[in-house]
Chain A
Amino acid sequence: NAGVTQTPKFQVLKTGQSMTLQCAQDMNHNSMYWYRQDPGMGLRLIYYSASEGTTDKGEVPNGYNVSRLNKREFSLRLESAAPSQTSVYFCASSAGTGYDEKLFFGSGTQLSVL
């Protein structure tokens, strides 16, 4: 039962470098999300994709871009990494965007920007 798979699990970048975080789900879910979690805090939504072919900004989108490659895959790109983007990143998916739809999370990517 793979569920939501994120890669990589750990990454260290230098300021100004770029990278893409990959996420794939095998539950045939329509909606996918990217969250970040800073130390001692809850998760904040970066971007989401309600359905294949759509993406929208969440609470903290600045410095990020996303691509919904197909129904299974949703990637997050940092074009020019900054130390403020040091965080743990979680990808999640849900069957839809109804208020009763729970999210299933990947195991997270720990990113450090030096």
Chain B
Amino acid sequence: AQKITQTQPGMFVQEKEAVTLDCTYDTSDPSYGLFWYKQPSSGEMIFLIYQGSYDQQNATEGRYSLNFQKARKSANLVISASQLGDSAMYFCAMRGFNNAGNMLTFGGGTRLMVKP
């Protein structure tokens, strides 16, 4: 079975600084994908970044990068130059082959608060 763990329920970061949100995962699938979603206070789920288990390089999307350490089974999200609009819940998720048709499994989330 797949499991995603986000150990930081809440974090503060100063505006313009970088922040790392932790995510560890557990799976026996050789092929899997790791995703990060942002959920602002308005409630919608916004896709941020994807990393495949076979990707050699860490994924980057603008100010977002994914620090993928396969041997450690970690997929931390790094946000550079934090902005006030980055204040939100962040969810790490994983998708791999399993009996439930590759369902996307979510961690419990981290609430990020950016201070001006």
Contact = CB atoms under 8 A, between A and B. Distances in A.
Interface of A: 33, 40-45, 48, 50, 56-59, 88, 90, 92, 97-105, 107-108
B84 interface: no
Given A43-B91, A58-B103, A100 B45 contact: no
Contacts, number: 70
B33 A42 contact: no
B101 A48 contact: yes
Q: Interface on chain A toward B: helix, strand, loop, or mixed SS?
A: loop
The 9 closest A-B pairs by CB, nearest first: A42-B106, A105-B45, A97-B102, A99-B33, A43-B106, A99-B95, A100-B33, A45-B103, A42-B108
Contacts of A48: 100-101, 103
Contact of B101 (A41, A50, A105): A50
